Amino acid sequence: MLPPFNPHPANHLAAVVSTTSPRPVAPKPKKCGQRRAAIASRVHFIDEDEGIEQRLDGMANFGEFPWTVYVQERVANGSFAYKCGGALITSGAVITAGHCVANARSNPASFQIVAGDWDRRHTRERLPSQIRQIDRIVLHPNYYSGSLYNDVAILIFNHPLNESTANVANICLPAIGERFHGSNCLLSGWGATPRTPAQEEPIQRFVTMPLVDPRSCEVQLQQTNSLRGKRFRMHDSFECAGGVKGRDSCKGSGGSPLVCEKGGAYVLAGIMSWGVSCGEGVPAVFANAVYQAGWIRGVIDGLEDNVVYFV
């Protein structure tokens, strides 16, 4: 990482005019994981002025979480329909849940991603969304559909996104062994909410979801009607978050990113995988991004240059 810029010259010799040609300076890479202040949207909502830190959940501001994307799958009539959430990890790759794409991984062209969107019902936004057809699906080699172990996939497209716009940017990726402290984590996307659990949301929303200790999560899940008596055990590839009644991930949230703030940026902590209820105070289970950090880095290395993946 480059040292911070110092506006003061190191000594008086810096003022001497050089007769040699200046060395070209590479453009500074765009920072990852930057939560945006409100960008004026197509329609003004009162809660766009509520600020960032005061809100625990609700409607996201336009462009507030620029890494949040959604995956669409081609349906019978040839059009594309909402499938899952996802997160932009490079200008040419999105991470999502493996179960969202596993059944059609041999046909990547049946999927596309939409980045920079906010209201899925309209295209009349302040800044346009960007759509890319998927060229390659990289499913985790140890993905197990029976228990959703290693439930993660990376979708690659050959035509990179334009990240010069404020509503499209990468999420930061965790380092191997990264640890998150505190509870400043959140989930963003278009999944259903406890208020309307049967239908995905048209407008992007977010919810704060504190991380839950694996052992505590295991015990809570074992006590649910769905898993009682089934010898459920937490897998190393799982991460738990949430457990606050009324604030939860629900239908359509699969693949959506769980991110935690660290060092002035948001870092990917998990990818929404599964849950046993909606808004009933039971933690949700995510694919653990730290556990998968080495695999993720191996997939994206060499895809492109000059992209900031890590804080």
**CA-based radius of gyration for the chain:** 21
- Residue 244 forms beta bridges with which residues? 247
Name the CATH superfamily for 46-52+65-170+293-300. Answer: Trypsin-like serine proteases (2.40.10.10)
Q: What angle do CA 270, 266, 171 make, to 5 degrees?
A: 70
For the chain, give the mean pLDDT: 82
Q: Which fold has domain 185-288?
A: Thrombin, subunit H (2.40.10)
| Angstrom distance (rounded) from CA 305 to CA 297 | 13
CA–CA–CA angle 31, 34, 35 (5° rounding)? 165
250's tokens? 């629900």
Residue intervals in the chain for CATH 2.40.10.10: 46-52+65-170+293-300, 185-288
pLDDT, tens digit, 9 for 90 and up, residues 55-74: 557 889 999 999 999 999 99
Q: Taking the complete model, does pTM exceed 0.85, yes or no?
A: no
Question: Contact 168/62 with Cβ under 8 angstroms?
Answer: no
Dump pLDDT digits (tens) for 191-248. Answer: 876 566 667 788 999 999 999 999 999 999 999 888 887 889 999 999 999 877 766 5
